[in-house]
Chains A and B, each alone.
Chain A
């Protein structure tokens, strides 16, 4: 079975001005979404109020969730504490606007009163188990710092590798595409205000991996065609590279997307954010492999002579007549 015409020769680079302009626009919009609208950080990042309640009769976490949702606390995280009667509820202070004082301080007791009212409305046998408490964000300052360092080290590592195996222009183009894919993925999450928690962060970093993987495959073909053709016009070479890897680019994206869809459908709420982020990232990464990475490469002035394997000059041969 083949979906793609193996002899396709679509001139993708003809639209490079439009596609790159579109990418630039999306990047600007993403940056705006992230800075102006802001990310809807999850409990992992913001910390929140922890309330432990116990019921006299066994209770189901779904029941508690619906009781909270009815009172407008949809984002609360409900967990069973082992057994069937004790549950813990964690929620961000902003979920209860009445409890946030003007100076930004949170009235933990007020949150607890509101939550208990919501629970009792549905089940009168609910009671507060112990005084409510504020839990600090799981993503501490040290982690955030080490995260930034790790990302920088990874990017530098990838660029050095690409610079050695390919050529510096490829490294720069890969970096540009990487930034493009990551920013737009995060931008979309900010735009639709999906909760940004640890699993979403993990997915964003996985998108970095997926995206670089995708670009390298196309770049690899670019290098191969440059080396194999005698008179190689960069535009033609890049177009041929995109066309001949097109089938692979899309099939791999589809296969990966299938698994992420399965994860979304069956993995439960704990991995929803992860699966959605990956799906967005796969789409953005695939499009940028076709429409963004190569125009950048072209503008950076990639040429055949930069890619020829370095042949060791033999001084012995040079001396011979």
Chain B
């Protein structure tokens, strides 16, 4: 037919072929497997492979294949029951040196994977995944606040010339010991004016001194705790985005816990590293009056100072007072120093941090400032049969650079290796944690859980498709059949696109697919109704087809653009369930535009083109 150009046939053929190709990986069901990765000191090699094989054979566990993939070992099994038994057996046999995790190994042929065709990842509701319960260390929040008020109160008292004996952390706040009742009143007035979040009460010390207890208001503490949780939830969400997991669940549980569910992730070790490691930076002034070597030898460090070590092991003495800490960082990115070409981390501070940094650098140009890199690695130990959670904190001065000029908001930190700079930048960019988080519980939700949902979803999709196909064929005869072919391809291309861009499939996503099938036929209904109208108005069959497609197109375009806008809204809503649904709907509308209009037009033109027609089967 003349009004359907040849290149469009080619386009339709190519897109359909690509659609089939990229949708095909979903036919290959992932296989239950056990993944073994090496912890520090151990290696994954042929010896391990041998050991795993003999262990499994001795335990009479049938395995299908044990092979090394990169730096890990995969043992594949026929079903999830065998997989669970194998993982228990292997965990015992291999001990602490290796991490044994349940995994779903892909069975997609290598040549398909090499062209980027992967099966759609399935959500936690369809295939299980990992579930973490994380505990936010709320006591760290209090300690941080105490430190802050210690500094504030000292400087207030100094400014007002009020003499004091000591200012120390105590209870839910800070205790100030003064020399007289009058001093205490003056101090109370000064502190009250400066820090409205403190509740001040007079106390008498054991020795009869005049003490002032400044407690942080319970409301303020609660607010801080809530903020901590919220900040951590946001931080975790960003970090998980870095991991590339879509539709994670990050949910507050109780007052200080966060639940993290990562669908599709069966590799707990990898996830834990990202979730568990917390890195932050603290900027401290270097105390140049103290000889660090001397201090290390004698252990004699002034009370306002603290002895740290550089990466090389060299001692360095820094002032305890933090100039700027990690939670005041807004952004950090890895780049290269323009002069030396060395890797560096560019840091941006928020306005509070910037002000502090500006104040500090204004007075201290030419002096050194140390950067403390603090890393916390959560640990779980078994002590007399009970799990004990602790964390190992390593504090290291990664850099002590001379302040080259006055700066505030933006500056660079150098002295990091390429790899380190990159890691640090990623962790810092993810948002610095205000309070440390530990994983207190982890669970791998086995893949058997979602089997039922997958079956139900598949049945719903197939039944929905078959019913619409039948209805269209009955109502629009030949044109209906053509629409049916297009609808089938719409499903194929929709799945292909979702697979190619790696959309995680969930139950709401399946609902979106079913809905898309119902609504995609709308374009064909519009076209068929138009063609019928044209025929009724006395046009020839071929002219009716042409006019039908032309006139329907304007309507289809307007209707779909507005519908796309609505789907876009669903997508940007951001929450797990709704987002997955919105993404599916959005892609579905786009693919249906192509299949319902271009594909059906191509087929219709091929059937009716160049023939003398008296009637149309519509």
Chain A residues within CB distance 8 Å of chain B: 1-3, 6, 44, 50, 79-83, 133-136, 138-140, 142-143, 146-147, 150-151, 153-154, 157-158, 161-162, 165, 174, 198-199, 201-203, 205-206, 208-210, 212-213, 216-217, 219-221, 224, 244-245, 247-248, 251-252, 254-260, 262-263, 265-268, 270-271, 274-275, 278
Contacts and interface: CB of A to CB of B under 8 A. Distances in A.
B259 A1 contact: no
A267 B507 contact: yes
B553 to A, nearest CB: 11
B463 interface: yes
B128 A82 contact: yes
B413 interface: no
B87 to A, nearest CB: 12
B573 interface: yes
A247 to B, nearest CB: 6
Contacts of B477: 1
A133 B533 contact: no
Contact of B463 (A133, A150, A217, A266): A266
Interface stretch (B35-43, B112-120, B194-202, B449-457): B449-457
B246 to A, nearest CB: 16
A208 B577 contact: no
B568 interface: yes
13 contacts: A82-B444, A82-B445, A153-B569, A199-B511, A199-B581, A210-B563, A248-B525, A255-B468, A255-B522, A256-B522, A258-B468, A267-B459, A268-B452
**A-B pairs with lowest CB-CB distance, top 6:** A154-B569, A209-B566, A259-B518, A256-B518, A136-B252, A82-B446
A205 B448 CA distance: 32
Contact of B565 (A157, A221, A271): A157
A251 B475 contact: yes
A162 B561 CA distance: 10
A283 B250 CA distance: 36
Given A147-B575, A258-B464, 17 more contacts: A79-B449, A82-B445, A135-B259, A158-B565, A174-B562, A198-B508, A202-B582, A209-B585, A213-B519, A216-B559, A220-B554, A224-B551, A254-B471, A256-B522, A259-B465, A260-B515, A271-B508
Given A82-B448, A206-B581, A216-B559, A161 B254 contact: no
Contact of B253 (A133, A203, A254): A133
Contacts of A213: 519, 522, 559-560, 562-563
A232 to B, nearest CB: 18
Contacts of A216: 555, 558-559, 562
Contacts of A139: 575
Contacts of B587: none
B191 interface: no
A267 B464 CA distance: 10
A209 B563 contact: yes
Contacts of B444: 82
A143 B507 contact: no
Given A138-B249, A143-B575, A258-B471, A267 B510 contact: yes
Contacts of B426: none
Interface in B425-460: 443-446, 448-449, 452-453, 456-457, 459-460
B468 A220 contact: no
Contacts of B296: none
Tell me what chain A mostly uses at the interface: helix, strand, loop, or mixed: helix
Interface in B515-566: 515, 517-519, 521-522, 525-526, 529, 532-533, 536, 551, 554-555, 558-563, 565-566
B319 interface: no
B569 A202 contact: no
Given A158-B565, A202-B570, A83 B446 contact: yes
Given A147-B573, A252-B521, A205 B566 contact: yes
B318 interface: no
B577 A255 contact: no
Contacts of A82: 128, 443-446, 448-449
Contact of B529 (A1, A206, A212, A248): A248
Contacts of B467: 258-259, 262
Of A133, A198, A224, A266, most buried by chain B (CB within 10 Å of CB) is A266
Interface of B: 84, 125, 128, 233-234, 249, 251-254, 257, 259, 443-446, 448-449, 452-453, 456-457, 459-460, 463-465, 467-468, 471-472, 474-477, 507-508, 510-512, 514-515, 517-519, 521-522, 525-526, 529, 532-533, 536, 551, 554-555, 558-563, 565-570, 572-578, 581-582, 585
Contacts of A270: 125, 453, 456, 507
A264 B421 CA distance: 52
B291 to A, nearest CB: 51
A161 B573 contact: no
Contact of A210 (B84, B519, B526, B581): B519
A300 to B, nearest CB: 18
A244 B532 CA distance: 11
A136 B252 CA distance: 5
A236 to B, nearest CB: 18
Contacts of B554: 220
B253 A202 contact: no
A267 B457 contact: yes
B441 to A, nearest CB: 8
Nearest to A220: B555
Nearest to A221: B555
Contact of B573 (A135, A146, A162, A251): A146
A140 to B, nearest CB: 8
A203 B585 CA distance: 11
A150 to B, nearest CB: 5
A175 to B, nearest CB: 12
B251 A206 contact: no
B511 A271 contact: yes
A198 B123 CA distance: 16
Given A6-B533, A258-B467, A278 B515 contact: yes
Contacts of B474: 1
Given A217-B559, A255-B468, A267-B507, A206 B515 contact: yes
Contacts of B578: 198, 201-202, 205
Nearest to A275: B511
A183 B85 CA distance: 53
A139 B574 CA distance: 10
A192 B453 CA distance: 27
B514 A267 contact: yes
A205 B569 contact: yes
Contacts of B468: 255, 258-259
A44 B573 CA distance: 15
B271 to A, nearest CB: 16
B533 A244 contact: yes
Given A80-B449, A153-B569, A199-B577, A255 B471 contact: yes
B575 A256 contact: no
A205 B575 CA distance: 13
Nearest to B560: A213
Nearest to B255: A134
B454 to A, nearest CB: 10
Contacts of A205: 566, 569-570, 573, 578, 582
Contacts of B582: 202, 205
Nearest to B473: A1
A220 B566 contact: no
Contact of A259 (B475, B515, B577, B585): B515
B505 to A, nearest CB: 13
Looking at A135, A151, A205, the one whose CB has the most chain B CB atoms below 10 A away is A205
A61 to B, nearest CB: 9
B577 A202 contact: yes
Contacts of B561: 161
Contacts of A271: 460, 507-508, 510-511
B518 A258 contact: yes
A135 B253 contact: yes
A245 B556 CA distance: 13
Contacts of A219: 558
A312 B554 CA distance: 22
